[in-house]
Structure 1
Amino acid sequence: MKFTASSLAAAVSAALCANAWAIEPQSVKLSDGLTFTPTLEVSERYDDNFRAVEDGEESSWITGITPTFVLGALGRKSEYALSYSAASDIFHSSHDDDNTDHHLNADAGFEFDARNRLKLNAGYDKVEETASLDQNVENDKYTTSNLGGVYTYGAESSRAQVDFGANYEELRYQNSDHLNADKERDTTALSSTFYYRVAPKTRALVEARHTEYDYVSNDRLNSNNIALLGGLTWDATAKTSGTVKIGGEKKRFDDSSIDDKSGSLWEVGASWKPRTYSTFNLKTRRALDEGDNGASSIQSQSSTLSWEHEWLERLTSDVSYTYSDQEYQDIDRDDKIDTFGLGLTYEMRRWLDVGVGYKYSENDSSAPNESYQRNIYSLSFTASL
């Protein structure tokens, strides 16, 4: 099977900014198999608590400007995508918080023959967050860099397939006076997933994972996670598609003074399309995440239900609700976060979308001074060639 132009288009589309999903970008053909796709999002939003704090809330109008550039290349048995975006935020009531986030990603896919395929990814992100645990001192400023890939053995039409994955990631902070230095770490993740077809469009799976966390200075939190999951994945049918993985995980710390942690683990993503113009999506996850604010780890559980509906040929709405429960381990803190989102997108032209949105977040925390409420109102324009 050869790579197709549509598969490259999917890679390009995934690289574009999240709010540009309705437009149909026009690519510039640089040469045979080589394309360049630019997009631009300009937004104006009002955030009534952009530091996400309980007391002393600060509000501001924020202008966002995000250009995105994607360079795609397509070969007979390979495909490549290089994307870069710069998300600039201008805080009209607090120019000291003006910042630009940079995101660079490179993807490559190879099909050596019908049974052997390889996908590679490398990424670099430089981010500044106004809503952070250290907002009373300095915004969190950090970079992440990663390199990984997945090798697949088995033809797509065969009864059995196996994936072997590996990923390495570095997290580094650029705050002054060594602020957040205790969070800096290197993460090495290995995984293997075995698939077995039990129906024409349904496969059972078993997945094993091993993740090593190596902290640069905070050796106390060095640990490794081992997880085993089983489940099902089914391709798009007339109405549904999705993947369900359920299992357990155990976290072992190198420091014997910290008790090992264990618990159930699940990842579910499913879509239901009762009509061609209406889609319901469910995502839910439970896992042990890395600790923060003095916690050895965080038992996280979140569920998101969203509904996308095309009311008219060019008018689409998106409604979502997320509930998150974060239990901080070895300290007395439990955050329960509700987030509600509502968006409306009008495709004014093939190359221009206009969107309006509203987002409400509320954190009910058991820790003092950690609860908050936050409202964000937005208007955006997304354009392409």
Structure 2
Amino acid sequence: MSESLTFTPTLEVGEWYDDNFRAVEENEESSWITRIAPTFVLGAKGRKSAYALTYKASSDIFHSSRKDDNTDHYLFADAGFMFDARNNLKLNAGYQQVEDTDSKDQNVQNDKPTTSNIGGVYTYGAKTARAQVDLGANYEELRYRNTDHINAENERDTTELSSTFYYRVAPKTRALVEARHTDFEYVSNDRLNSNNIALLGGLTWDATAKTSGTVKFGGEKKRFDESGVDDQSGSMWEVGVSWKPRTYSTFNLNTRRAIDEGDDGASAIKVQSATLSWKHDWLERLSSDVSYSYSDEEYQDIDRDDKIKSLGLGLTYKMRRWLDVGVGYTYAEDDSTAIGESYERNIYMIRFTGSL
């Protein structure tokens, strides 16, 4: 039986100006966009369990292109159970229904993907033990609501199994070895049916010398069911590090290299990306966020290589305990070797976020 029950509503109201909201190279369209996004979180917590149910709706109104008005829906359920000191279980399920105005089929209709998933992680081993094991599983379905079978070739079911072994090498540092197997089964595009196998090793640490993070390095191989499609392989890494030189200033670095699913005729995409961000509290109520992202996407089996850059600047002021005001600017650029796929984009924004 739960010891506490909480309900937290949040409302975000914002105004955006996007000078290329379709992310195209030519014939750019600009618009002021009003966003209204309420979020509701219902939580319950017991002595050995915790639950959370989250729903968010994000409604965008395009003042220069009312046919692109849309509302995205997000629903997430999470549950955690601590059976005893050595046995823990986390479960999650989610549903997302969105519409992308910057999709590649915008001349016909916007992409309208729907994603649903269910998964969990079982952990054996106490937090203070020398060794721990995580066993994870996740199942995801990707579908599209587009008419005339647009994007039907991308619809797929994904099943992922993972196992991670941790071994404590210092009071706050653990070495790890992780294995993953991911199966991709396409609804109609059998050519892309495949499975990915990845093996990684690395370290994870907590608040050591003002830093915390996880680094994983290894390799990945994608095997296609059809013999006519070339298998892919390569090095793989996932790095997430946080450095806090002061209590009011935090730097975060996230970088990954992996083989992602194909798109626009490619059998797969080899992605290498990095994001560096800095959050600083200038005053008790005033904070700033700066971020820079770079991604190199190499499309396999077709002649295309995208280099995507993004710069974000933001400033947030807490007017009241329950009300934040934020202003921001984002610049995005895609330098693509494919004809018609490059673009530049500027987004300006002001938003108000209230919560109880």
Which TM-score band (shorter chain)? Answer: over 0.9
> What is the SS of the residue equivalent to 2:169?
strand
Q: What is the TM-score normalised by the length of structure 2?
A: 0.99
2:343 paired with 1:372: yes
Q: Give the C-alpha shift of residue 135 in structure 1.
A: 1.0
2:338 paired with 1:334: no
Q: Give the C-alpha shift of residue 236 in structure 1.
A: 1.9
Of 107, 110, 116 in structure 1, the residue corresponding to residue 87 of structure 2 is 116
2:205 paired with 1:234: yes
What residue number does 2:57 align with?
86
Count of residue pairs brought into register by the alignment: 355
Query: 2 CA distance for matches of 1:285 and 1:127?
Result: 25
* 1:78-127 residue CA offsets vs partner (Å, 9 max, x unmatched): 00000000000000000000000000000000000000000000000001
Equivalent residue letter for 2:77: A
* 1:48-82 residue CA offsets vs partner (Å, 9 max, x unmatched): 00000000000000000000000000111100000
* 1:29-51 residue CA offsets vs partner (Å, 9 max, x unmatched): xx951110000000001000000
Of 249, 254, 257 in structure 1, the residue corresponding to residue 225 of structure 2 is 254
2:16 paired with 1:45: yes
Structure with greater proportional helix content = 1
Equivalent residue letter for 2:297: Q
Query: 1 CA distance for matches of 2:318 and 2:328?
Result: 15
What residue number does 2:188 align with?
217
Q: Give the C-alpha shift of residue 142 in structure 1.
A: 1.3
> What is the SS of the residue equivalent to 1:80?
strand
Equivalent residue letter for 1:42: V
| Uncovered stretches (5+) of structure 2, i.e. residues with no partner | none
Query: 2 CA distance for matches of 1:321 and 1:253?
Result: 34
Query: 1 CA distance for matches of 2:250 and 2:86?
Result: 34
Of 261, 280, 295 in structure 2, the residue corresponding to residue 324 of structure 1 is 295
Of 32, 35, 42 in structure 1, the residue corresponding to residue 6 of structure 2 is 35
2:129 paired with 1:158: yes
What residue number does 1:70 align with?
41
What residue number does 2:278 align with?
307
Which of structure 1's runs of 4+ aligned residues deviate more than 3 A?
none
Q: Give the C-alpha shift of residue 133 in structure 1.
A: 1.1
Of 86, 94, 109 in structure 2, the residue corresponding to residue 138 of structure 1 is 109
Query: 2 CA distance for matches of 1:273 and 1:129?
Result: 35
Q: Give the C-alpha shift of residue 160 in structure 1.
A: 0.2
Query: 2 CA distance for matches of 1:101 and 1:238?
Result: 41
What residue number does 1:28 align with?
none
> What is the SS of the residue equivalent to 2:153?
helix
Query: 2 CA distance for matches of 1:65 and 1:236?
Result: 37
Q: Give the C-alpha shift of residue 154 in structure 1.
A: 0.2
Alignment of 1:343-354 (within 5 A): 343-354=314-325
Work out the percentage of aligned pairs sharing the same amino acid.
79
Q: What is the TM-score normalised by the length of structure 1?
A: 0.92
Q: Give the C-alpha shift of residue 237 in structure 1.
A: 3.2
Of 176, 179, 184 in structure 2, the residue corresponding to residue 205 of structure 1 is 176
**Alpha-carbon contact 2:3-2:47 (below 8 Å) kept:** no
**Alpha-carbon contact 2:43-2:50 (below 8 Å) kept:** yes
What residue number does 1:18 align with?
none
> What is the SS of the residue equivalent to 1:178?
coil
Query: 2 CA distance for matches of 1:32 and 1:362?
Result: 50
Aligned-residue CA RMSD (Å): 0.7
Q: Give the C-alpha shift of residue 238 in structure 1.
A: 4.9
